[in-house]
Structures are given as structure tokens and as C-alpha cells.
Amino acid sequence: MRARFKALTSAHGYFYAHAMLKSVSVSDPSGGGYIDATFMDVRIRFQLLMIFGDDFEPRGRVVCMHCHTTYGRIVQESLGAFTFDAQGMTDLDCGIDGRVVEIDACAPQIVLMFLERAFGANRFL
């Protein structure tokens, strides 16, 4: 599960090389089991939680938090979460022909989706 979660870091290479979005940064996984993504001083954190599904198979639950400072205090607000299985299939809806979003193949889209939510949550940007 940790290796599948680490696939989110591949988004950095995509943004830097292929998409020419060098202002989007995705960190390597920390020792605390999270990955940070930053764009224009907006930081989001993907936190991995290990869980079991209804079938008692291991799953990864990724909680995404918008990390910012309000009145000098550090605040983390939930932007949502998703679950993935051992094959990397998530429960995210891509909205296109019912295709399944894979954490490995769709890492840039996942990062952008949650960054968009963070921008939408912040009315001052």
C-alpha cells in the first residue's frame, strides 16, 4: 500500500517535464506517511491511513488536508478522501465514461483535483 501511495510523487515529474507546470511541487513521502503538494503558496497534504475493506482486504485510505495559517494559527481543513486497493484502483469518480481512477496512472489528475478543491475553499485567492 505504501508503494502505491508513493506513486502520487510521480505527479512531480509529470508537472515538471511533460505538463510544463513547474510551479506545482509534490514532495517525497515523509516518515509520517504523508505527501505535500504546493502550488502558488497553497499547500495540501495527502495522509495515508492503513485500513481493511469490507472483505477484510488491506486498503489505503488517503485523507487530503488544506494546510494554511489563519490569524497566526496553523489550520488543516479536510478537502476529502479516497480509498485504493492493492491494485491501485481508487473509489474516485473521474466523470468520464465511468472509468476507474488508478492512483499510479492518474497521480497528476488526483493532485490537481485536490488543489482545485483547496483553491475553491479559499475565497481570497
Residue for grid cell 479516497:
82
Give the number of other Cβ atoms within 10 Å of residue 57's Cβ.
Answer: 10
Give the start-end residues of each E strand in 1-125: 24-26, 34-39, 42-52, 58-70, 73-84, 89-93, 100-102
Position 124 scores a pLDDT of 52
User: Is-contact 46 83, C-beta < 8 A?
Assistant: no
Question: Residues in the chain with pLDDT < 50?
Answer: 125
Position 30 scores a pLDDT of 87
Position 80 scores a pLDDT of 94
User: Is-contact 74 66, C-beta < 8 A?
Assistant: no
Position 66 scores a pLDDT of 93
| Closest to 24 (Cα-Cα) out of 102, 120, 121, 113 | 113
User: Is-contact 35 45, C-beta < 8 A?
Assistant: yes
Give the start-end residues of each E strand in 10-72: 24-26, 34-39, 42-52, 58-70
Sequence ranges of the domains in the chain: 2-121
